[in-house]
Amino acid sequence: MSVAPKRPKGPPLNAMRAFEAAARNVNFVAAAEELNVTPGAISQHIKALEGWAGTPLFRRNAQGVELTPEGQSLVPVFSAAFDQMADAARALRDLKPNADFHIAALPAVAQLWLPKRLRRIREELPEINFSVTAMENPPSLSREMFDLSIFFAVPDGSSNQIALAQDVIAPVCAPTLLDRAHCSNGFREIPILHDQTWNDDWFTWSRNVGFDLQIDASGPQFSLYSLAVEEAKASAGLLMGHLCLIEDALESKTLLFAHSRSCPTGRSLVVSLPSKTRQRSETSQVVALLSN
């Protein structure tokens, strides 16, 4: 007669994944966004893990969460384990012939900057399927199945970052509003369009160029910069233009400079890559084409 003894069970994999993401970010909300679940789900997973371990792994307080010494002691081994799992998943994915090349990008970049460059890349590399995911925050390239990401950031000088263009801003408007913009005292008499992602653009620009800005901060608000660009083209008002994103509109003269001075924000449009061992063989070609 065979014997099938009851075997001890480890904690659920999803609970361990939730703990690793929350510990790495020291934030349940950031972990939830990364894993595409709710913060409540992260909290429940961690409670289950703490119950299994018989010890608190996080302290909860009014300011957020912090790791306990026991939780902190687990971070290196959990991070190493999930790094290896990510490597295994990438190796499995790369077995597929013509596996998709996944790009993550800020929505404004995905909509305004990337399309014409992606067309050129597809012409050069027709055997590769390219997928683009627009997202507000950069993904973890060590964990998620993205081959590169394109966001605005302050370059860190690492070999896994390539700065494509400096982020320079200047007020722009449709040709029909140009005379009003030039005559307006501090842009008082012309609508100002506000992008919610970069809601400090107007003040950054006015401070840097010494412009006496008089605007209504309650003006039209847009959650997508591409919508604000289209409204600016339609003569809805002045927009603070990120020049690398509106190069086509400036070239076609559907948008014109409303002031002679521009200023850098301190950021750049940056391509971020996974570590060398996680990069696809085509990655260097794709980056070279994006850089041209």
CATH of the domain at 106: 3.40.190.10
Positive or negative, the CA dihedral 93, 274, 46, 16 is positive
State the chain's mean pLDDT as an integer.
91
pLDDT-derived band at 188 (thresholds 50, 70, 90) equals confident
Which H or E element spans position 239? strand 239-242
Q: Tell me whether strands 101-105 and 148-153 are parallel, antiparallel or unpaired.
A: parallel
Burial class (CB in 10 A: 0-12, 13-18, 19+), 58: buried
Residue 114 has pLDDT above 90, yes or no: yes
- % the chain with pLDDT above 90: 65
Residue 184 has pLDDT above 70, yes or no: no
Query: Both 63 and 106 in a single domain?
Result: no
29 within domain boundaries: yes
6 within domain boundaries: no
Query: Both 41 and 185 in a single domain?
Result: no
The pLDDT value recorded for residue 280 is 87
Residue with tokens 């990008």: 105
pLDDT-derived band at 122 (thresholds 50, 70, 90) equals very high
pLDDT tens-digit map of 124-151 = 999 889 999 999 989 888 888 899 999 9
5 within domain boundaries: no
Higher pLDDT, 115 or 96: 115
The pLDDT value recorded for residue 199 is 86
Residue 99 has pLDDT above 90, yes or no: no
Residue with tokens 């014409």: 116
Query: Both 219 and 283 in a single domain?
Result: no
Phi, psi for 86 (deg, rounded to 5):
-65, -40
Residue 215 has pLDDT above 80, yes or no: no
Token pair for residue 49? Answer: 């893990």
Query: CA-based Rg of the chain, rounded to a whole angstrom?
Result: 24
The pLDDT value recorded for residue 2 is 61
Average pLDDT of the segment spanning 52-71: 93
Number of residues written out for the chain: 292
Residue 61 has pLDDT above 60, yes or no: yes
The pLDDT value recorded for residue 8 is 81
Domain count of the fold of the chain: 3
The pLDDT value recorded for residue 100 is 87
- Of the ranges 41-50, 264-273, 279-288, which one carries the lowest mean pLDDT score? 279-288
| Residue 86: count of CB within 10 angstroms of its CB | 18
pLDDT-derived band at 44 (thresholds 50, 70, 90) equals very high
Quote the domain boundaries for residue 150: 101-162+269-291
Query: Whole-angstrom Cα distance, residue 239 to residue 225?
Result: 10
